[in-house]
C-alpha cells in the first residue's frame, strides 16, 4: 500500500527563536522539545513496510492456497488513515491570532504616531532660553497656571511647589 507523503513545511527554528519575547521563552522551549520528539519518532520509523517474499512462502508453506489467499487479501487491504481533526483547530487559532495581531499592530501604529508627534514638537520647539512664560505654556500646556481655580499666588496647591 502506498505511504502518505505529507508536505512538511521546513521551519527555521533559529529565526523563530529570535522573534519570541523573553516572557514566552519557556513555552517556546516546550514546543520545540515536543516537536523534536515527534519528528525523531517519525524518522525512526521507515516509510515503507518490510516487503513480504510471497514466492518463498508459496514454496515453503504446504497448505494449498493459504499463501495465495493471504497474498490476495494483503494486497487488497487498505489501511485507513487517521482522521485529521486538529488542523482545522490550528487554522482557526491562526485566524484569531492574525486578527489579534492586526489589532495590536494598529494600536501600536497609533502609539508610534503619538510618540512621533511629541518627538516632532520637542525637536521643533524654540530653545528654553528664548521662551517667555506664554511660549512655555503654549508648548507645554501642563505648565499653565490655573488662575481661575487658584486665584492667589502661587496659583497651584502648595504641595506642588
Scan residues 68-127 and list those touching another protein (CB under 8 A). 70, 74, 77, 79, 81-82, 84, 86-87, 90-91, 93-94, 97-98, 101, 104-105, 108-109, 111-112, 115-116, 118-119, 122-123, 126-127
Is 3 a binding residue for another protein by CB under 8 A? The answer is yes
Which residue, 18, 150, 135, 2, is CA-closest to 79?
2
What count of other Cβ atoms lies within 10 Å of the Cβ of residue 67? 19
In the complex, what is the shortest distance from the CB of residue 149 to another protein, in angstroms, rounded to a whole number? 21
Cell numbers placing 92: 482557526
Q: Residue from 65, 76, 134, 159 that binds another protein (CB under 8 A)?
A: 134
Cell numbers placing 101: 495581531
C-beta closer to another protein: residue 66 or 150: 66
DSSP string of 113-158, one letter each residue: HHHHHHHHHHHHSPPGGG--HHHHHHH-GGG---TTTS-STTSS-G
Interface positions, 31-70, toward another protein (CB under 8 A):
31, 34-35, 38-39, 41-42, 45-50, 52, 57, 60-63, 66-67, 70
Amino acid at each position: 500500500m502506498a505511504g502518505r507523503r505529507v508536505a512538511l513545511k521546513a521551519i527555521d527554528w533559529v529565526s523563530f527563536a529570535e522573534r519570541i519575547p523573553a516572557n514566552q521563552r519557556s513555552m517556546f522551549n516546550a514546543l520545540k522539545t515536543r516537536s523534536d520528539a515527534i519528528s525523531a519518532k517519525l524518522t525512526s520509523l521507515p516509510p515503507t513496510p518490510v516487503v513480504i517474499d510471497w514466492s518463498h512462502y508459496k514454496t515453503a508453506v504446504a497448505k494449498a492456497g493459504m499463501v495465495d489467499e493471504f497474498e490476495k487479501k494483503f494486497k487488497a487491504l487498505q489501511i485507513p488513515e487517521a482522521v485529521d481533526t486538529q488542523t482545522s483547530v490550528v487554522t482557526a487559532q491562526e485566524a484569531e491570532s492574525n486578527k489579534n495581531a492586526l489589532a495590536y499592530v494598529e494600536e501600536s501604529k497609533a502609539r508610534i504616531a503619538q510618540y512621533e508627534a511629541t518627538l516632532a514638537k520637542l525637536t521643533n520647539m524654540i530653545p528654553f532660553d528664548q521662551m517667555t512664560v506664554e511660549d512655555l505654556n503654549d508648548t507645554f500646556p501642563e505648565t499653565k497656571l490655573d488662575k481661575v481655580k487658584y486665584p492667589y499666588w502661587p496659583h497651584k496647591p502648595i504641595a506642588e511647589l
